[in-house]
Chains A and B, each alone.
Chain A
Amino acid sequence: MDGEPGGDKGSTSDVPESPEKELPPPNFLEIEPIYEALGHPRRRYLCYTLLKDTEWSLNDLATKIVAWETDVPEHAVTEDQREEVYISLYHAHIPKLVAEGVVTFDEGTERVTAAEHADQVLTALEGMGGSLDAAQETHARSEMDERED
């Protein structure tokens, strides 16, 4: 991709030019992690949850996700439901988000923390969340066990 207007200047890729224009930093244009991160509703929900708090235990995340998916309060989540989502987070979604640099995961404490690409993803989510996933976002931001329905 050549961002220069009037692209006949033969943009030589070897020249170490770093035009200080109002281009966003290259990092910000790297949108692959955003698509990858947002490609599954559980990961979207997890990212919404990170909007509220930047560190979560995997257990609490699993509980919150069951509550959201089944529309019950957190205290009504059964152990079997929580375990199933916990496993899907542990074996699939968290490693995926770790690989995309969206979260870090401490295997010892099983805590999930926002990582370097979290801002991009959260920005994208906030941009689209209002119209598409408002209920999901609202729920993700709600306190544990404090849903008023």
Chain B
Amino acid sequence: MNEKTNGGTMPDDSTTGANTKWSQVAQHHYEPDGRGELTTAIVYAIAEAEGVSPSEVKSPPLYDTVDVPAIENAFFGPTVVGESRQSVGSVEFQYTEYLVKVRSDGWVQVYEPTETVLS
């Protein structure tokens, strides 16, 4: 796993690392009650950022980059009977040159670096 967490910074702070600025280039809304999967929503968002068809997003498989089911469970997962999930926040990881943020409200946002280099 080479997922990149964001230490203790605030979820709404769209930066990772001091030297990189990010700007949002795409977003896709994940519907937890729909038939689609979070993995698919993330790939759709990345495809939009890359300007390609979703089936052209191939390498690496998301599975190799980040534990999507863990995110899915944390924010949208099945609950104990009678309970409802109340996790709030976001998870960020890097996919190729992009920073991907999955928020507990279902928005998947893709950022690209706008200055300096990735470490």
User: Are B55 and A92 neighbours in the complex by a CB distance under 8 Å?
Assistant: no
The interface on chain B, measured as residues whose beta carbon lies within 8 A of the other chain's beta carbons, has a size of 19
> B61 within 8 Å of A by Cβ?
yes
Please tell me which one of the listed residues B35, B54, B69 contacts residue A87 in the complex, with CB atoms under 8 A apart: B54
Report the tally of A-B residue pairs with Cβ distances under 8 A: 44
In the complex where A69-B35, A92-B68 touch, is A84 in contact with B40 (Cβ < 8 A)? yes
Within 8 A of B (CB), among A60-110: 69, 83-84, 86-88, 90-92, 94-96, 99, 107
User: Are B62 and A91 neighbours in the complex by a CB distance under 8 Å?
Assistant: yes
Closest CB-CB distance, B60 to chain A, in whole Å? 9
The interface on chain A, measured as residues whose beta carbon lies within 8 A of the other chain's beta carbons, has a size of 14
Q: Taking beta carbons and an 8 Å cutoff, which residues of B are in contact with A?
A: 35-37, 39-40, 42-44, 53-55, 57-58, 61-64, 68-69
Q: Taking beta carbons and an 8 Å cutoff, which residues of A are in contact with B?
A: 69, 83-84, 86-88, 90-92, 94-96, 99, 107
